[in-house]
Amino acid sequence: MSSERTEAPTPKRLHEARSEGRVARSPELNAALALFAGIYLLRFAGGKLGSAFASMVSTSLTTLPPADVNGGWYTHQLMEYGMQIVPMFGVILIGLMFTGVGVSVAQTGLYWPSKRKVFDVSRVNPLQGIKRLFSGQGLSELVKAILKLTIILWVAFNFVRPRAAELMSLVHTPLPDAIHNWLALASALAMRCASTYMLIAIIDYGYQRWQLNKSLKMSLDEIKEEHKQSEGDPLRRSRMKSEHRRLVRTRMMQNVPKADVVIVNPTHLAVALKYDAKTMSAPTVIAKGAHHVAERIVALARENSVPVIQNIPIARALYKSIDVDQTIPPDLFAAVAQILAYVYNLRGRLPSRRPLLAEQAT
Question: Which domains does the chain show, CATH number per domain?
Answer: 11-227 (no CATH), 251-361 (3.40.1690.10)
Q: With beta carbons less than 8 A apart as the criterion, state whether 302 and 261 touch.
A: no
Confidence check: pLDDT of 357 > 70:
no
Q: What average pLDDT does the segment 20-27 reach?
A: 77
* pLDDT for the residue numbered 271: 94
Q: What average pLDDT does the segment 218-236 reach?
A: 72
For residue 281, how many other CB atoms are within 10 A of its CB? Answer: 12
Q: What is the CA radius of gyration of the chain?
A: 45
Q: What average pLDDT does the segment 192-209 reach?
A: 89
Confidence check: pLDDT of 325 > 90:
no
Q: How much is the mean pLDDT over the chain?
A: 78
26 or 59, higher pLDDT: 26
Confidence of residue 73 (pLDDT cuts 50, 70, 90): low
Q: What average pLDDT does the segment 238-254 reach?
A: 82
Q: What average pLDDT does the segment 67-93 reach?
A: 69
Confidence check: pLDDT of 124 > 80:
no
Confidence check: pLDDT of 310 > 70:
yes
Indicate whether this model's pTM tops 0.85.
no
Confidence check: pLDDT of 54 > 80:
no
Confidence of residue 217 (pLDDT cuts 50, 70, 90): confident
Q: What average pLDDT does the segment 263-280 reach?
A: 88
* pLDDT for the residue numbered 274: 92
* pLDDT for the residue numbered 157: 92
* pLDDT for the residue numbered 288: 92
Confidence check: pLDDT of 8 > 70:
yes
Confidence of residue 355 (pLDDT cuts 50, 70, 90): very low
| 43-49 contacts, C-beta under 8 A, 24 or more apart | 43/187, 44/91, 45/88, 45/91, 45/92, 46/183, 48/88, 49/85, 49/88, 49/89
Strand 308-310 vs strand 261-264: parallel, antiparallel, or unpaired?
A: parallel
Beta bridge partners of 262: 272, 308
- Buried-exposed string 221-235: b where 16+ CB fall within 10 A, e elsewhere: ebbeeeeeeeeeeee
Phi-psi region of 244 (alpha: psi -120 to 50; beta: other; left: phi over 0): alpha
* pLDDT for the residue numbered 354: 41
* pLDDT for the residue numbered 358: 38
145 or 108, higher pLDDT: 145
Task: State CA 268 to chain mean position distance.
Answer: 51
